[in-house]
Amino acid sequence: MKKYLILTLILCQFFFAFSQKEQNVKSKLENVSIYLNSAQVERSASMNLPIGNSEIVITDLSQYLNANSVRISGKGAFIIQSYQTKTVYPKPVETDENVIPPAVQRKIDVLADSLEWINYEIQDKQLRNSIYQTEKAYLQKSKAISDADTLTSLRDGLSYFRNKMLEINKEIMNNNKAETKLQKQKQGIEKRLRDQQAYANSLKKTPTVNRAQTELRIQINAEKIVNNAQISFTYNTTGVSWEPYYELKIDDTSKPVELLLKAKVKQFCGEDWNNAKLTFSTGTPNVYKVLPRLSPWYLSYYMPVSRQTTNISNKEVYAKTESAVFDYEATDDRLQSPNASYAHSYNVQKQNLLFAEYEVGMPYTIPSDNKEVTIPLYVANLDATYSFISVPKIDKDAFLVANLLSWEKLSLIQGEANIIFQNSSVGKTRIDPSVIGDTLTVSLGVDKRVVVERKKVSDLSKNRIIGNQAERLVHMEIVVKNQHPSNIDIAIKDQIPVPHAQDIKVILEEKSKAQHNESTGELLWNLNLKPNETRVLSFRYLIKYDKNKSLIAE
């Protein structure tokens, strides 16, 4: 018997040593690295481990967790053996629906009783009128008057008929008035009742359906009891995205341009990020680490897609705004309070060979509701030159533009930009780093102090026919005047036609020292105008074509 008892004890010890003990553990969010269309979440957890095998169960993780991306590490005298992930669907949480306050319920009951009483009253008036209408019809069909054999009887019959009809009509009219009044009261009570019922329904708590979550189960073995064992793990999840948004702030044309990068982030991955440390990355994680292969890279010219916003690239597209001022300098003699610091001043930008990362210095809360949260990331000062550009053939206004220098060093990614000039928003544009060039041109609006006029000189423009060939001579004149108190640089752009048929020839006879692009027909004058200086530019071109064909020209 004693041998059996010892054997039983040994087996029990063996069973308890190697049996797996399940332990539910809450994890703490440490850091979130947000990529353009995904995120890497870093969490930690602490627990006490008994001797033997244990299974640590960590819940409330993202429903879109990528199981292949899970990486686990730990600190302590234990061995991490394996892990599994499992999607769980919590049952709806049943709640007590009888939560309407007694005062609200009493109001609903009183209004319902009043509505019931009014309906009875309305029905009573309608029934009375129905009886009066029947009585009225009976009187109209009665032969009491027509059968009267004497004048006295006829007079008495008419008097009775008249009095009775007046009495019936008066009762019908009184009932109609009463019914109209009751109907108005009914509408008011119905509205109040609906409002009270809606308020009562808003107080009711319907069963809450919890979102799906991922459960992480980690198998651990410890040869001895481990107190305060530490586990860290990371995983990738989808349901997250961010896109860049820029602000270009220009206070004065003598100062650099301030470029502020912001992140518009939203997520619905199934877990709320409360007071999280965030890192934004312009790259994309390669979970499977597949060796990339290069395909031929064909270089061609960039053809921007037409947008409602202004495209920011080497090609200038201008948004017309009436607020641009070239030499304005703001001053304020009032006592200045210390300025509040900006969130981006706490952030750190990291650069590597593949992408840029921005560590956000302050914690943020981003709930899993797919609502956009804007977070400032980075600010940089860009040197810029300022000039005017005018294309008088299309628009006679002169546009003030800022030419941003050395922008390609910032590792920017494509995104929308809001242009703020002297604390006023003057339009939007797009930053597109795929455009090759070291200068970005941004329009700041129209300056009315630069006057540009374009006209056709009719006296010098002629049409004539020589044999089978027609000739058209076109003479154009552009007048530019600087009304600024200082010198300005301005580029004037125009064009002459480019022949598209072999029997059409275009000859540029005069160009006033313009740069001529023969392939596009563009004429460019780069001028420096002194205060109140006026410059006259003229160009003349001759078109030769078949006289038997029509030609559209200026």
Query: What is the pLDDT at residue 274?
Result: 94
| C-alpha to C-alpha distance for 285 and 529, rounded to whole angstroms | 54
User: How many CB atoms sit inside 10 A of residue 287's CB?
Assistant: 12
Reading the block at residue 76, the tokens are 């302590």
Query: What is the pLDDT at residue 279?
Result: 95
Q: Give yes or no for residue 317 having a pLDDT over 80.
A: no
295: in domain: no
Query: What is the pLDDT at residue 443?
Result: 81
Please say which residue of 406, 426, 448 terminates a domain.
Answer: 448
State phi, psi for 138 to the nearest 5 degrees: -65, -40
Q: Give yes or no for residue 432 having a pLDDT over 80.
A: no
95: in domain: no
Highest averaged pLDDT of the listed ranges 183-192, 305-314, 324-333: 183-192
| C-alpha to C-alpha distance for 198 and 423, rounded to whole angstroms | 46
**Three-class DSSP category at 514:** coil
Same domain, 384 and 464: no
Q: Give yes or no for residue 250 having a pLDDT over 60.
A: yes
Tens digits of residue pLDDT in 488-506? 999 999 999 998 888 899 9
State phi, psi for 78 to the nearest 5 degrees: -150, 165
Tens digits of residue pLDDT in 142-193? 755 555 566 677 777 777 888 888 888 888 899 899 889 989 999 998 999 8
Tens digits of residue pLDDT in 513-546? 999 999 999 999 999 999 999 999 999 999 998 8
Q: Give yes or no for residue 37 having a pLDDT over 50.
A: yes
Amino acid at 455: K
Please say which residue of 397, 421, 448 terminates a domain.
Answer: 448
96: in domain: no
The more confident residue out of 242 and 299 is 242
Query: What is the pLDDT at residue 145?
Result: 53
Same domain, 116 and 144: yes
Same domain, 416 and 463: no
Q: Check: CB of residue 237 under 8 Å from CB of residue 64.
A: yes
The CATH number of whichever domain residue 75 belongs to comes to 2.60.40
Q: Check: CB of residue 32 under 8 Å from CB of residue 236.
A: no
H or E stretch including 44? strand 39-49
| Least confident segment among 19-23, 292-296, 382-386, 469-473 | 292-296
Same domain, 265 and 399: yes
SS3 content of the chain, % helix, strand, coil (to 5): 20, 40, 35
467: in domain: yes
- What domain count does the chain have? 4
Please say which residue of 154, 188, 203 terminates a domain.
Answer: 203
Q: Check: CB of residue 417 under 8 Å from CB of residue 428.
A: yes
Q: Give yes or no for residue 311 having a pLDDT over 80.
A: no
Q: What is the DSSP string of 318-382?
A: ----TT--SS------SPPPPPPPPGGGG-EEEE-SS-EEEE-SS-EEE-SS---EEEEEEEEEE
Same domain, 425 and 350: yes
| C-alpha to C-alpha distance for 64 and 62, rounded to whole angstroms | 5
| C-alpha to C-alpha distance for 206 and 487, rounded to whole angstroms | 72
**C-alpha distances out from residue 521 to 108, 470, 506, Å:** 80, 21, 10
Highest averaged pLDDT of the listed ranges 15-19, 274-278, 355-359: 274-278
Same domain, 396 and 473: no
Q: Give yes or no for residue 214 having a pLDDT over 60.
A: yes
Query: What is the pLDDT at residue 9?
Result: 47
Same domain, 282 and 391: yes
The more confident residue out of 99 and 188 is 188
132 is in which domain, residue-wise?
102-203
Same domain, 316 and 168: no
| C-alpha to C-alpha distance for 398 and 395, rounded to whole angstroms | 8
| C-alpha to C-alpha distance for 423 and 416, rounded to whole angstroms | 18
Query: What is the pLDDT at residue 343?
Result: 52
**Three-class DSSP category at 290:** coil
Strands 348-351, 356-359: pairing kind: antiparallel
Angle between helices 102-141 and 151-203 (to 10 degrees): 160
Query: What is the pLDDT at residue 100?
Result: 77
Which long-range contacts does 301-310 make (Cβ < 8 Å, 24+ apart)? Answer: 302/434, 302/435, 302/436, 304/432, 307/430, 309/416, 309/427, 309/428, 309/429, 309/430, 310/427, 310/428, 310/429, 310/430, 310/443
Mean pLDDT of 389-413: 86
Same domain, 186 and 77: no
**C-alpha distances out from residue 350 to 281, 434, 439, Å:** 9, 21, 24
513: in domain: yes
This prediction's pTM: 0.58
475: in domain: yes
Mean pLDDT of 331-338: 38
Q: Give yes or no for residue 442 having a pLDDT over 50.
A: yes
554: in domain: no
Q: Check: CB of residue 444 under 8 Å from CB of residue 400.
A: yes
335: in domain: no
Beta strands (DSSP E) in 62-177 are 71-75, 79-88
Q: Give yes or no for residue 137 having a pLDDT over 80.
A: yes
Same domain, 283 and 382: yes
Tens digits of residue pLDDT in 450-488? 999 999 988 777 888 888 888 889 999 999 999 999 899
Q: Check: CB of residue 228 under 8 Å from CB of residue 241.
A: no
Same domain, 153 and 217: no
Q: Give yes or no for residue 6 having a pLDDT over 90.
A: no
**C-alpha distances out from residue 21 to 78, 156, 330, Å:** 14, 110, 71
Same domain, 384 and 398: yes
